[in-house]
Amino acid sequence: MHPEFIIVKKDAQPHVAHIQLNRPKELNALNLQLMGELRDALKELDADDSTRVIVLSGNDKAFAAGADIKQMAGKTAIDMYNIDQFSTWDTIKKTKKPIIGAVSGFALGGGCELAMLCDMIVASETAKFGQPEIKIGVMPGAGGTQRLTRAVGKALAMEMVLTGKFISAREAQQAGLINRVVPVELFLEEAFRLAAEVAQMSPLAVKMAKEAVLKSFDTTLEEGLHFERKNFYLLFASEDQTEGMQAFVEKRAPVFKGR
């Protein structure tokens, strides 16, 4: 089945896939179908050996302006419970390969939360990040109170969540929410440049390193260090470790295979 609300290019660049959110008239509002399509595409790319890194973008005007308010407006608490849309988010969160968010324009509500599910974020100068749910009588539900607070600290997170204030790409970078800001005509190019850099590394080491960095968000330092050490040891069972170290000794570029 072809997705309707996303565009997937598996080999947008060697070893780099591109998923573009594609509901431009609705500013890429995240309805249930779009989120299901995104989940399925990420699952497929995660299982595909030729893909090492995934770039997730919207368009120049919007990464995503949030969950689809029109779809949610008439729902009851029991409807929301039964729809269980967060199981989709939980599956997306389990993607092992790195996802680079390429954000331009609005990244609001669920859109900001989706950007924060990415492992790195490249933003255009026009990007605006915000959790405006408070203005429509609710609050963030897909990690906005947790990931935002961990990224930017309590003071700014509380202000954004309680007032719905947007922050610019520059403010987001200063606060530690995103990796870099570039002119709007370059944001995709820069995201792909970063993706290409990561795609040159051992894909096994990249996945295990991502897993270990994310572990730091929900465990103690001692347990996190223990987890890191296990993954570190495990990589010594890979051909990529032999190749990487041999290549260093032989003063040549390594050829990693993900084994």
Catalytic positions are 67, 110, 113, 133
Alpha helices in 125-186 (DSSP H): 147-152, 154-163, 169-175
HSE of 61 in the Cβ direction (CA atoms, 13 Å)? 8
- Closest contact distance (angstroms) between CB of 32 and ligand CO8 is 8
DSSP for residue 118: S
Which range, of 42-50, 130-138, 148-156, 221-229, touches ligand CO8 by CB under 6 A? 130-138
Residues contacting residue 240 through CB under 8 Å, at least 6 positions apart: 202, 203, 204, 205, 254, 256, 257, 258, 259
Q: Which is nearer to ligand CO8, 142 or 191 (CB)?
A: 142
- Closest contact distance (angstroms) between CB of 157 and ligand CO8 is 15
Examine residue 226 and tell whether it contacts ligand CO8 (CB under 6 A): no
Q: Which of 7, 136, 155, 213 binds ligand CO8 (CB under 6 A)?
A: 136
- Closest contact distance (angstroms) between CB of 52 and ligand CO8 is 27
Q: Which of 8, 53, 54, 68 binds ligand CO8 (CB under 6 A)?
A: 68
Report the distance separating Cα 142 and Cα 136, nearest Å: 16
User: To which residue do tokens 């963030």 refer?
Assistant: 140
Quickly list DSSP for 182-193.
Answer: E-GGGHHHHHHH
Examine residue 38 and tell whether it contacts ligand CO8 (CB under 6 A): no
Spatial contact of 29 and 62, defined as CB atoms under 8 Å apart: no
Question: Which tokens is 211 given?
Answer: 């897993």
Examine residue 58 and tell whether it contacts ligand CO8 (CB under 6 A): no
Q: Which is nearer to ligand CO8, 17 or 108 (CB)?
A: 108
Query: Considering only CA atoms, which of 156, 186, 158, 185 is closest in space to residue 168?
Result: 156
Q: Which of 142, 157, 175, 199 binds ligand CO8 (CB under 6 A)?
A: 142
Q: Which of 110, 145, 147, 190 binds ligand CO8 (CB under 6 A)?
A: 110
The binding site for ligand CO8 (CB under 6 A) comprises: 26-27, 29-30, 35, 65-70, 85, 106, 108-110, 132-133, 136, 141-142
